[in-house]
């Protein structure tokens, strides 16, 4: 995939991985929309790359709709959407299992992806576009440090895997990137714990490299892991045990003529 002249929208684009993606895509010739709640930092990043800042709280579907509409109004269309906005919960670090905090983190990490896909799809279908959601290794394995974070990232993984084949018919790819711990504000509360445990911490550039690899691969429905010391690639999910028919045979879930 070539990025010259493409239009990209990045949620959570003011800091961390999102900022890294914004700067990399802009450096490759894309026109980039920085969508974030941090207007001060987001405006600086957008100005640095000659892009556009749009304030967007991804928990509100109307704001996701407005961000897409502004991208189209200013740049004439949309080609790439990176749904990256995310926050940690920290329940496993001694905090109470607070329902309000749960709802807040689910709103950003899961609802923000769903609302972003809904807002972007009509425009992406016009030109054949690409969606990448930021998931996490926490969505592929148990995450005792932050169980609710693991739950919403696992939901993002499942959503991407299901949407991939559905949207392929419309010329739209949807994939996820699943980093392990990266050097961003989201791990600020337990960086020392990770370092004491000998856990390698990814640089932002390590993770951004994976986003570019996903876009250039051109596949759909994949979840690429990013871990220090090994190349990124799609995670190979094991085949689960399938349902059985009353006759003792297996049901092919891809064959609608078979009934359980």
pLDDT over threshold 70, residue 96 = no
Q: Which of 69, 99, 77 is nearest to 30 (CA)?
A: 77
Query: In this structure, which long-range contacts are made by residues 98-106, counting pairs with CB atoms below 8 Å and at least 24 apart in sequence?
Result: 102/148, 104/59, 105/148, 105/149, 105/152, 106/148, 106/152
Tens of pLDDT, residues 35-84: 999 999 999 999 999 999 999 999 999 999 999 999 999 999 999 999 99
Strands 130-134 and 80-83: parallel
Tens of pLDDT, residues 163-198: 999 999 999 999 999 987 655 566 555 565 555 555
Give Cα separations from 235 to 21, 48, 178, 210 (angstroms): 21, 35, 9, 13
Domains observed in the chain:
7-234 (3.40.50.720)
The per-residue pLDDT of the chain, averaged, comes to: 87
What sign results for the dihedral spanned by CA atoms 194, 206, 10, 171?
Answer: negative
Separation of alpha carbons 18 and 118, rounded Å: 20
Tokens 């990013």 locate to: 226
Tokens 């709709």 locate to: 65
CB-based contact 68:125 (threshold 8 Å): no
- As given in the structure block, the two tokens for residue 133 are 């959601």
Tokens 């994949």 locate to: 222
In sequence order, what are the residues at sequence separation of 6 or more whose Cβ sits closer than 8 angstroms to the Cβ of residue 6? 25, 29, 30, 31, 79, 80
H-state helical runs in the chain? 16-27, 39-49, 61-75, 99-106, 112-127, 147-168, 191-196, 204-217
Distance of alpha carbon 97 from the chain centroid: 25
H-state helical runs in 81-146? 99-106, 112-127
Helix and strand counts by DSSP (H, E) for the chain: 8, 8
> Which of residues 226 and 190 earns the better pLDDT score?
226
Task: Say what the pLDDT of residue 109 is.
Answer: 95
Residue numbers annotated as active site:
149
pLDDT over threshold 90, residue 116 = yes
Separation of alpha carbons 243 and 251, rounded Å: 6
Tens of pLDDT, residues 133-154: 999 888 788 877 788 888 999 9
Q: Which of 99, 41, 21 is nearest to 10 (CA)?
A: 21
Output the pTM of the full model: 0.86
Separation of alpha carbons 19 and 173, rounded Å: 22
Task: Say what the pLDDT of residue 255 is.
Answer: 47
């Amino acid at each position: 995939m070539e990025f010259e002249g493409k239009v990209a929208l990045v949620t959570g684009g003011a800091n961390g991985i999102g900022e890294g993606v914004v700067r990399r895509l802009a450096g490759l010739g894309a026109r980039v929309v920085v969508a974030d709640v941090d207007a001060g930092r987001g405006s600086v990043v957008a100005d640095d790359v000659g892009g556009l800042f749009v304030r967007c709280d991804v928990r509100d579907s109307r704001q996701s709709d407005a961000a897409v509409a502004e991208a189209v109004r200013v740049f004439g269309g949309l080609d790439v959407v990176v749904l990256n906005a995310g926050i940690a919960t920290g329940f496993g670090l001694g905090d109470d299992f607070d329902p309000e905090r749960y709802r807040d983190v689910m709103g950003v990490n899961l609802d923000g992806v769903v609302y972003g896909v809904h807002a972007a799809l009509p425009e992406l279908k016009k030109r054949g576009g690409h969606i990448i959601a930021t998931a996490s290794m926490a969505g592929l394995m148990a995450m005792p440090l932050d169980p609710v974070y693991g739950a919403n990232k696992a939901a993002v993984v499942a959503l991407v895997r299901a949407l991939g084949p559905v949207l392929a018919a419309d010329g739209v790819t949807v994939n996820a990137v699943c980093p392990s711990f990266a050097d961003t504000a989201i791990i600020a509360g337990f960086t020392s714990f990770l370092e004491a445990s000998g856990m390698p911490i990814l640089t932002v550039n390590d993770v951004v490299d994976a986003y570019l690899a996903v876009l250039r691969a051109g596949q759909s429905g994949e979840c690429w892991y990013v871990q220090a010391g090994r190349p990124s690639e799609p995670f190979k999910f094991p085949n689960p045990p399938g349902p059985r028919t009353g006759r003792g045979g297996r049901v092919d879930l891809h064959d609608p003529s078979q009934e359980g």
